[in-house]
Structure 1
Amino acid sequence: MKAALVLAVIAALAACSAPAPQPRSDRAAPPVLPDGYTESPQRSQPETCDLTTRDPREGPRGDDGRPTGDKVRRIREKNELVVGVSQTAPFFSKRDLVTGELVGFEIDIAQRIAAALLTGYTPGDPRLRLITLPTGSRLTALDTDANDAARRADPAGKEIPHVDLVIADVSITCERQRTYGLTYSMPYLSTNSGLLVRTGLKDVTGPADLRGRKVCSGRRTTNSDEMIELRDQQATGPGEPIIPVAVADTSECLMLLQRGLVDAIYTDVLILKGYQQQDPGTVLLDYHDSDDGKGLGKAGIAVSGKDDQIDLVRFVNRVLGEMMDDGSLQRAYDARFAEVPARHRLPLPPNIYRP
């Protein structure tokens, strides 16, 4: 009996001292993907529309000779201009890690518009409120009938503040005008898409060479639509088509590329140059097809299309025209993109409404 008891105690002690079971090596932790990550998203519905913007030479004008109306008066009475921008687009609009201030080409434009709207405005004045918005939902912040209807349909959705303008490298398209009920200023930037890949990826000159690989773009952007269209074209031929990936903010594509979760980023070449600065272990490839216009476009300032806000579009066009005519837009462009090779920079659009 005693011997049996001793053996039981020894067995118990041996069990307690046994090493803990080791995790199996084939159980890798699943990758953590950013919110809004979508593999093989659906393309926006293409359509034609009238993208003609509003002539600042028409309609009522204020004492300063610039356009005026209901929206311009409300902004001046409130004594505040609210602008939606990015905070992750180097050269365009990015937060300075030392000062905490937003700086970039599009911030310069916002400053100039604020100076024309708000009496006594100087850079740094808090009456210009810069609201940072992710790429995929930036246009939902505009005060439009379409956006109001979407909010009513999804009352539990994330609350997004209203802004007066969105200046965030927004390509001018019919689909966005229809979906969000917005209108555009005249173009202030000519864009050219590019491709950012990891060093060592061979025999790649453009997206078509990435069959079977993942290409990342911002959700609901023209770049994402182009990759979806390319996927559909390749699906009818031999081999595996590319795999489009969409994320809420284009900057998240860089993290996915660095972690090996995507193989390339497709977006504005000027934005990609900023990403390449953050990760020199990447290669930037120009990409556009001059015959069909793929990868080429123009960016405009997005404004609500409501009737009582159309005067703001005319006002913005007047300010952009002044910047084009006095050379300040070109100087800001040259200064902010000084580190970008000339081959990546397209000529700025002209003032189509000269006095």
Structure 2
Amino acid sequence: MADTADRAGRDERAGRVRRLRLTGLVKLSALAAAGLLLGSAALPTGPAADRLPERVTLSGRPALAPAVAGCTDGPNGGSSVVSLTPSTDDSGPDVQRIIKRGKLIAGIDTNSYLWGFRDPSSGNLEGFDIDLVHALAQSILGNADDVEFLSVPTADRITALQSGEVDVVVRTMTISCAREQQVAFSSPYYLAGQEVLVPKSSSITGYNSTLAGKKVCAATGSTAVDNFLDQDKKGSTVVQVENQLDCLVLMQLGLVDATITDNALGAGQAAQDPTIHLVGGLMDAEYYGVAMKLGADDLVRRVNAVLQSYLADQWNAEYDEWLKPVGPNPGPPSVTYSG
């Protein structure tokens, strides 16, 4: 945290048991658990690597929702990232529902190192996105620990919001015009981009002809899948998994040749396994935002008010705390409001 008092508060929270409600949406997959708990040296090789696990599917292009009227995707696929003007008014129906409940229900990732993961030594949830959720709870409810965390896989982020299972999704979720028809987004809080992750022994050098005929892993419902299938003219195969950390395990097992994921997530995987690295440079530019149910304008404005302070006062310290493996601190993204 930015100062001693904030760090002390965070350390105090880290000592408490935080409840993570694992519902029918997802439990931490066996593949991801293997990657978190065992590491590459302990993973099986030989006959165990001869076939893909049943949960991994090979599929064609998924149907995409049409873009929102008036929304403009950027030249590299990023949304126009314009969000509603911030407000600290707590009288709206969506904010009031959270206040009356006495807790914020947040959909998160539990297996993305640096962003949202369970520290194996303490059992506590940690990461850049986790700290942002605590900041939301502190501002809205007056207590950073008034949070119920729900682990949500990449493909279920939107349905978890639409069904009311969660109030917010804070899970490295890219803002896009197609998604803005299905959920509401806050102003952006991070700028990332797609990149190729491979074993250091690989001959693959990036998103180019060296991917020809290769098996490439990506998480179902991710922008990585969309980007790959949009441009797949190389005879490659996309292998889709529930959670992007499963791709790391599949690479360790030799079942896929490469992973396409956000560079910020890829850097976390490379920090877990020093035998892999990012190659080829960024394929696009993508902004992460806090996602909420479509129409929850009062909550969007309230979250934007929190982010306005967070980006100004806390963001740099959080980057230095968690995201140094990604690269030099670029500073928080610029923000545009409308309405």
TM-score range, shorter chain: 0.7 to 0.9
Summarize the alignment of residues 40-79 of structure 1 with structure 2, pairs less than 5 Å apart: 40-45=59-64, 47-49=66-68, 50-51=70-71, 52-57=82-87, 65-79=88-102
- Aligned counterpart in structure 2 of residue 131 of structure 1, from 121, 125, 150: 150
**Structure 2 letter corresponding to 1:350:** S
- Aligned counterpart in structure 2 of residue 272 of structure 1, from 266, 289, 292: 266
Question: Does the C-alpha gap of structure 1 residues 305 and 28 become closer, same or farther in structure 2, counting only changes over 3 Å?
Answer: closer
1:33 matched to which residue of 2?
53
Q: Contact 1:136–1:219 at 8 Å: present in 2 too? A: yes
Question: Does the C-alpha gap of structure 1 residues 353 and 328 become closer, same or farther in structure 2, counting only changes over 3 Å?
Answer: farther
- 2: CA distance, partners of 1:79 / 1:67: 13
SS of the aligned residue for 1:256 comes to helix
2:173 matched to which residue of 1?
170
1:299 matched to which residue of 2?
288
Q: Contact 2:217–2:259 at 8 Å: present in 1 too? A: yes
SS of the aligned residue for 2:159 comes to helix
Question: Does the C-alpha gap of structure 1 residues 346 and 195 become closer, same or farther in structure 2, counting only changes over 3 Å?
Answer: farther
- 2: CA distance, partners of 1:99 / 1:312: 32
- Aligned counterpart in structure 1 of residue 134 of structure 2, from 111, 131, 139: 111
- Aligned counterpart in structure 1 of residue 318 of structure 2, from 327, 332, 345: 332
Question: Does the C-alpha gap of structure 1 residues 329 and 110 become closer, same or farther in structure 2, counting only changes over 3 Å?
Answer: same
Structure (1 or 2) with the larger CA radius of gyration: 1
2:194 matched to which residue of 1?
193
- Deviation readout 1:224-271 (Å, 9 max, x if unpaired): 11111121xx2xxxxx52211211111111111111111001101111
Q: Contact 2:83–2:336 at 8 Å: present in 1 too? A: no
Pairwise CA distance, 1:219:
0.5
Q: Contact 2:271–2:325 at 8 Å: present in 1 too? A: no
Pairwise CA distance, 1:138:
2.2
Number of residues of Structure 1 aligned to a counterpart in Structure 2:
281
- 2: CA distance, partners of 1:227 / 1:351: 28
**Structure 1 letter corresponding to 2:122:** T
Pairwise CA distance, 1:322:
1.1
Q: Contact 2:170–2:289 at 8 Å: present in 1 too? A: yes
The alignment's TM-score, normalised by the length of structure 1, stands at 0.73
Summarize the alignment of residues 1-355 of structure 1 with structure 2, pairs less than 5 Å apart: 31-33=51-53, 35=55, 37-45=56-64, 47-49=66-68, 50-51=70-71, 52-57=82-87, 65-119=88-142, 121-122=143-144, 125=145, 127-142=146-161, 144=162, 148=163, 162-178=165-181, 181-202=182-203, 204-231=205-232, 234=233, 240-288=234-282, 294-306=283-295, 309-325=296-312, 327-342=313-328, 346-353=330-337
Question: Does the C-alpha gap of structure 1 residues 273 and 203 become closer, same or farther in structure 2, counting only changes over 3 Å?
Answer: closer
SS of the aligned residue for 1:339 comes to helix
Structure 2 unaligned runs (5+)? 1-46, 72-81
SS of the aligned residue for 1:187 comes to strand
- Deviation readout 1:261-296 (Å, 9 max, x if unpaired): 1100110111111111222221221433xxxxx421
SS of the aligned residue for 1:186 comes to strand
SS of the aligned residue for 1:323 comes to helix
Pairwise CA distance, 1:206:
2.5
- 2: CA distance, partners of 1:330 / 1:68: 31
SS of the aligned residue for 1:174 comes to coil
The alignment's TM-score, normalised by the length of structure 2, stands at 0.76
Pairwise CA distance, 1:41:
2.8
Give the fraction of aligned pairs with identical amino acids, expressed as a percent.
28
Q: Contact 2:49–2:255 at 8 Å: present in 1 too? A: no
Write out the 4+ residue segments of structure 1 that deviate beyond 3 Å after TM superposition. Answer: 27-30, 65-68, 351-354
Pairwise CA distance, 1:74:
1.3
